[in-house]
Amino acid sequence: MSSPRPDPKPCREQDIGLFEVMKRDGWARLGKFHTAHGILTTPAILPVINPNIQTISAREMWDKFGVGGIITNAYIIWKHDKLREPALESGIHELIDYPGVVVTDSGTFQSYIYGDIEVENEEIVEFQHDIGVDVATMLDVFTRPDMSPEEWEQGVQTTAERASPAISSAQGTPLNGPIQGGLDNDLRRKSAQLMGAESFAIHPIGGIVPLMEGRRYTELFAMILAIRKDLPPERPIHMFGCGHPMLFPFAIALGVDLFDSAAYVLFARDGRILTPEGTIHLDNLQEWPFPSASLSGVTPEVVRGMNADERCGILARVNLEVTLAELARCRQAVHEGKIWELAEARSHCDSDLRKAWNSIIDRKNSDEAISGLVESQHLQRNGGIRYMDDSPIHRPDLEHIRATMKERWRPPPITGWNGRGEHRFVAIFAIAEAPWRRSIEDCVKRLLLLNPAAIPMIATPLGLLPYSLEDINPYAHLMRTETEMGDLDDDFIEAELQRLGLADLPMNIIFYAEDKGIMESMVDAVVHAEQLGEIDLTVLDDQANHQAVSTWLHRWSVADKLALFVNVDSVHTWQALAKGRMVMSRTGRVKNILTADGTHLASPRLTDGGISLTLEGAKWLHDLPSASEVDSPGSEGGGLSGPAVVHVDEDAEPFVRKGRNVFHGFCLSADSTLRPGQPCLICNSSGELIGHGISRVDANEMMAFRKGIAIRVRDGVRDE
Ligand code: GUN
């Protein structure tokens, strides 16, 4: 027999109530919430334990289900002498026999269900402190969707007024500061600002149970989107009363870290089974649709024949298993950078969820909340990108690279590989499959040999892609990389050319053909049409020309990757590489990028088509003139300012110089352009470069968090 699960280890005293983010996928995050009864890994669900009726005991939750934290109700304990006295005497953990994280609610939910309750805010908070809970909850005002706007406003106001007395009464016990405001998202944001200004540990979103019961997911998600920006980023967000696994991927993708619910037992009482795809009634089951330890050896028929308590016990265990498994799946998805993929898959399971999905995906980027969500996404991910829609380009995880390309990409110099280009036009290669260097590179080279000023683009399911970026994730790693005829309607192409600033140029489409001869004649025809004259095919005969085009394509690729991923103005890159050279691999891919004097600036990554700076590259960027000096009229650059700069304090400096990571709490300032997953330069307070790395946070988060790694340092500038 395996040994019983040991009790948790308390966190360090000074870390109690702190939240640390270990990994993130946009707003979704894998975190650790530190408490005296262990470190809770998030996203997590706190199953509701009723101290009077424990269908699954808290002890079983810990021992058998591996649950790290539960929630119970302080008001019920306070109200019943037989619970209250032992709780005060020996503490809540002993009362319910649970060694992990215990969160308590305050009685607000009872006031929503039953009307008035008999306890005041300060008294119930002090009581929670006295019984030793890990996170207490103040007495907030439940703002039901069916209340009037005046009542919502009053609820927000009263909750905010009670915040400071609650914090005093908690005497250092970490406290939940619920966000209220009914259906008015401006009020919700106001509530987030008011509550965020107080020293709460966690912010639950309250008053949403009726929305979930009414399957009003569009309103629910719009609310979460709206308030996210107004909440302190270093505190976990909790969705009060959310326990249906179907909602987890969405909520997590929108930044929710904690859930609590009694759904596992409430649904079980009704004979219903929770699944990530929806709810199933026991009466409709011939077979179990998934494996479950709790169901081993019994058929649906057998469970139907059980008495009510026995049946509820089994189904509650199944529901808890499914709930925990779906959360584990979500955490794994965050780990892999695939939470939006999972949310999309789930959106197909339920019509109301699908509507909510569409409401997020269809929103224009001008919406402030959605653009914050998009900006938080990593530009690139590893591995294959799965999508199920015909037009997934607005999925937030895929949208960011499109938006960044719009902002940072500029065409290459018109002069081209031989310095003599002048007839600019766009040639779109369509219906070709990745890897495009295999399917179309010969034709791209032919095009450039015949017209050095042509701009070869690839039509992909994610929109137009400059050929220079042909190997980048996500474009090259979609499940389907080739466009189909149906993807190529005029409006779409027009919009894409607009996005990339190419709408004023003549445009031609070259359709992929297996037969090389056919493709070559299409290229020739396009050049012929554009140049309005005979074309000189003798240029194709000279090997030196082919070599020059290859070199130019490599430089173009480096210039565009540094622009897209490092925010480097391409004017600088073209200058630096003018006489530079590339070290090539045996398979003909660029390994290292060197300047004329042999300085190694960067290396392309084969895995995701991105580019990694070297320390020399970081020094080069640090010494470059600022964007305003570059953006001269007529330049082909984008006026880009280079990677964001973070200043760290003198305690961190020696560590950064040795290549060690930057931790939160040591940063003095960060450029507002800082984004998670993107490169940054690290300077000391005098502005000297001391290292470079990949930020895990944006500028706001950089300054707000107090625990965890802020920048993964790639290399440091050693002391002389
Ligand atoms: N449980 C479910 N909803 C709520 C809420 O709005 N406030 C509190 N305190 N508990 C809840």
Provide the number of structural domains found in the chain: 4
Q: Which residues line ligand 1 (CB under 6 A)?
A: 105-106, 108-109, 137, 140, 142, 178, 206-207, 209, 240-241
Going by alpha carbons, the residue nearest to atom 10 of ligand 1 is: 109
Tell me: do 581 and 513 sit in the same domain. no
Tell me: do 304 and 420 sit in the same domain. no
Task: Identify the active-site residue in 15, 63, 81, 105.
Answer: 105
Q: Which of 635, 660, 691 is the last residue of a domain?
A: 635
Check whether the bond before 178 is cis (ω within 30° of 0): no
**Rounded to 5 degrees, what are φ and ψ at 292?**
-155, 135
Given the DSSP bridges, would you call strands 425-430 and 454-460 parallel, antiparallel or unpaired?
parallel
CA 62 to chain centre: 30
Going by alpha carbons, the residue nearest to atom 9 of ligand 1 is: 108
Q: Long-range contacts for 529-533 (Cβ within 8 Å, ≥24 apart)?
A: 530/423, 530/425, 530/451, 530/454, 530/506, 531/423, 531/451
Greatest extent of the chain over all pairs of C-alpha atoms, in Å: 98
Tell me the best of 76, 135, 140 to mutate to test the pocket of ligand 1, counting ligand atoms within 8 Å of each CB and taking the most: 140
Task: Give the type of residue at 486.
Answer: G
Report helix, strand or coil for 272: strand
Tell me: do 500 and 422 sit in the same domain. yes
What is the Å distance from ligand 1's center to 108 Cα?
Answer: 6
Q: Which of 479, 505, 539 is the last residue of a domain?
A: 539
Two structure tokens written together for 296 = 């081993």
Tell me: do 563 and 608 sit in the same domain. yes
Tell me: do 524 and 564 sit in the same domain. no
Report helix, strand or coil for 251: helix
Tell me: do 302 and 245 sit in the same domain. yes
What is the Å distance from ligand 1's center to 701 Cα?
Answer: 27
Q: Evaluate whether residue 546 is within a structural domain.
A: yes
Placement of tokens 């996203």 in the chain: 43
- CA torsion sign for 136, 139, 141, 144 is positive
Q: Which residue, among 517, 533, 519, 558, has the nearest Cα to 451 in the 3D structure?
A: 533
Q: Evaluate whether residue 400 is within a structural domain.
A: no
Tell me the best of 113, 142, 156, 200 to mutate to test the pocket of ligand 1, counting ligand atoms within 8 Å of each CB and taking the most: 142
Q: Evaluate whether residue 371 is within a structural domain.
A: no
Tell me: do 577 and 524 sit in the same domain. no
Measured CA to CA, the distance from residue 348 to residue 229 in angstroms comes to 28
Give the position, in ligand 1's atom list, of the atom nearest the Cα of 106: 9
CA 237 to chain centre: 15
Report helix, strand or coil for 149: helix
Give the position, in ligand 1's atom list, of the atom nearest the Cα of 143: 6
Tell me: do 626 and 503 sit in the same domain. no
Kindly report, residue by residue over 640-669, the tens digit of the pLDDT: 999 999 999 999 999 999 999 999 999 999
Tell me: do 619 and 691 sit in the same domain. no
Q: Evaluate whether residue 660 is within a structural domain.
A: yes
Q: Which of 363, 396, 418 is the last residue of a domain?
A: 363
The reported pLDDT for the residue numbered 391 is 55
Task: Please answer whether residues 408 and 560 qualify as being in contact, where contact means their C-beta atoms are separated by less than 8 angstroms.
Answer: no
Q: Evaluate whether residue 276 is within a structural domain.
A: yes
Measured CA to CA, the distance from residue 343 to residue 338 in angstroms comes to 9
Q: Evaluate whether residue 454 is within a structural domain.
A: yes
Kindly report, residue by residue over 316-362, the tens digit of the pLDDT: 999 999 999 999 999 999 999 999 999 999 999 999 999 999 988 87
Tell me: do 321 and 441 sit in the same domain. no
Measured CA to CA, the distance from residue 699 to residue 672 in angstroms comes to 5
User: Residue length, the chain?
Assistant: 720
Q: Which residue, among 306, 279, 283, has the nearest Cα to 294 in the 3D structure?
A: 306
The reported pLDDT for the residue numbered 388 is 63
**How does DSSP assign 614-634, residue by residue?**
-HHHHHHHHHSPPHHHH--TT
CB atoms within 10 A of CB 599: 15
Residue partners of 336: CB distance under 8 A and separation at least 6: 25, 381, 382, 383
What is the Å distance from ligand 1's center to 107 Cα?
Answer: 8
Q: Evaluate whether residue 388 is within a structural domain.
A: no
- Measure the CA angle with vertex 489, ends 486 and 495; round to 5°: 135
Placement of tokens 């297996």 in the chain: 514
Burial 271-287 (b: 16+ CB within 10 A, else e): bbbbbbbebbebeebee
Percent of the chain that is helix, strand, coil (3-state, to 5): 40, 20, 40
Burial 510-521 (b: 16+ CB within 10 A, else e): bbbeeeeeebbe
What is the Å distance from ligand 1's center to 156 Cα?
Answer: 13
CB atoms within 10 A of CB 113: 10
What is the Å distance from ligand 1's center to 236 Cα?
Answer: 16
The CA-based dihedral angle spanning residues 448, 454, 460, 462, taken in that order and rounded to the nearest 10 degrees: 140
Residue partners of 35: CB distance under 8 A and separation at least 6: 10, 11, 16, 17, 69, 101, 134, 135, 174
Residue partners of 89: CB distance under 8 A and separation at least 6: none
Burial 661-688 (b: 16+ CB within 10 A, else e): bbbbebbeebbebbbbbbbbbbbbeeee
The reported pLDDT for the residue numbered 634 is 44
What is the Å distance from ligand 1's center to 52 Cα?
Answer: 20
Placement of tokens 């409401």 in the chain: 359
CATH number at residue 690: 2.30.130.10
Tell me: do 685 and 594 sit in the same domain. no
Tell me the best of 105, 143, 175 to mutate to test the pocket of ligand 1, counting ligand atoms within 8 Å of each CB and taking the most: 105
Tell me: do 481 and 431 sit in the same domain. yes
Q: Evaluate whether residue 249 is within a structural domain.
A: yes
CATH number at residue 260: 3.20.20.105
Task: Please answer whether residues 19 and 236 qualify as being in contact, where contact means their C-beta atoms are separated by less than 8 angstroms.
Answer: yes
Going by alpha carbons, the residue nearest to atom 7 of ligand 1 is: 206
Check whether the bond before 435 is cis (ω within 30° of 0): yes
CB atoms within 10 A of CB 543: 7
Measured CA to CA, the distance from residue 562 to residue 582 in angstroms comes to 15
Q: Which DSSP symbol is given to 385?
A: B
What is the domain range of residue 598?
A: 542-635
Q: Which residues of the chain have pLDDT under 50?
A: 631-634
- CA torsion sign for 46, 51, 56, 60 is positive
Does 105 participate in catalysis according to the annotation?
yes
The reported pLDDT for the residue numbered 603 is 98
What is the H or E stretch that residue 450 is in?
A: helix 441-450
